[in-house]
Amino acid sequence: MNTCTTASRDLEEPLAGSAATARTWLLIEQPGPWGAKALVSSHLDPEVGRAVEAAADGTGVRVALIRRPGRHADHHASQRHRVYVAHTVPGNTWLRSTTVAAPEELLRLDFAALGSGRHGGFGAPYEGEPLAFVCTNGKRDRCCALLGRPLASALSSSGGEGSGGEGVWEITHLGGHRFSPTLLVLPYGYAYGRSSAADVKEVLHAVRSDRIVLHGCRGSSAWDRPGQAAELAVRRTTAEYRAGVLSVVHTTSVDRPTDPPVDAHAYNAYWDVTIAHMDGRRWTVVVARGASLPPRPESCGAALGSPARMDVVAVREASALRG
């Protein structure tokens, strides 16, 4: 079957620097079917969905709906809704959870505070297994349903250490359909693509030890896309797999670098990204944005396009900062 996913995989499109960006995630349980714009096309009251979306706009909070894997009958069962709120910036990473009788209760939240990392006592600290959210919304792209739903089901039904089980949810949208199956892992907020059940079990096992798996990693949602690519490059260069020890402290748009020289025809933007380690070390990472060629569909049914890709062209360590 010729899909956006097979085209991206066959063309070896890089994953790094392709994650959705969000300092804070607000994830609301909503069973039943989802439409392409799930906040206004599901069993969630569309007026509530629009109001939550508007409240989150520009705050750094990304809102999505979640549901348990399995069959999703078209019914309007009345129940409490599980809600997760997660802030993913290193140094202030937290994950909190509660249930609400009606999602409109969430309109009382201070979204600006959530986006800046202040939870205001919402819910309670989540202390369970790491959470994996697999994108399964076939109304946005068929690859998410064809590849995501079997993955979520397999993870949910499998037993044993590292399986996920109760920590596995389906989610409405994570971006990057062509990288399906895609998932977000909390509490640290790293996104993954082209994932198998074995891959996800490895990721969840690592998170239990506060470590990050780099295979299939798209980046941390805490950073913009140049920062995502830069942080992963430093991890690969230094073999640093511990979660929460690296931060993007500065991203600056720059002219085309001459050291190292790059092909001016291959890229259309450049950044110097400063990555800091909690031990004081720093790196300057040169990231270049180019177009993925040859053209390929960014989603199934879409016209051929050249989606942006983030390439790291240099990683330079600076002197450690001294107090």
Count of CB atoms situated within 10 Å of the CB of 52: 22
pTM beyond 0.95, yes or no? no
Neighbours of 99 (CB within 10 A): 11
Does any domain span residue 78?
no
User: 273: domain range?
Assistant: 225-318
> What mean pLDDT do residues 72-76 have?
60
pLDDT of 160 above 80:
no
Provide the sign of the torsion angle of the four alpha carbons 92, 95, 101, 106, taken in this order.
Answer: positive
**Cβ–Cβ < 8 Å for 63, 26:** yes
Instruction: For the chain, give the mean pLDDT.
Output: 91
Task: Give a yes or no: residue 219 inside a domain.
Answer: no
Q: Which tokens go with 251?
A: 């991203």
**pLDDT digit string, tens, across residues 162-188:** 445 679 999 999 988 889 899 999 999
Instruction: Label residue 323 by pLDDT band (50, 70, 90).
Output: very low
User: For residue 19, which of 133, 164, 161, 146 has the smallest C-alpha distance?
Assistant: 133
The one-character DSSP state at 303 is P
In a domain, 44, yes or no: no
Residue 268 lies in a domain: yes
In the chain, the number of structural domains is 1
In a domain, 59, yes or no: no
What average pLDDT does this structure show over 247-253? 97
pLDDT grade for 288, boundaries at 50, 70 and 90:
very high
Provide the H-helix boundaries in the chain.
4-10, 46-56, 111-115, 142-143, 149-157, 197-208, 225-238
Output the CA–CA distances (angstroms, integers) from residue 94 to 25, 47, 97, 122, in the order listed: 11, 29, 10, 11
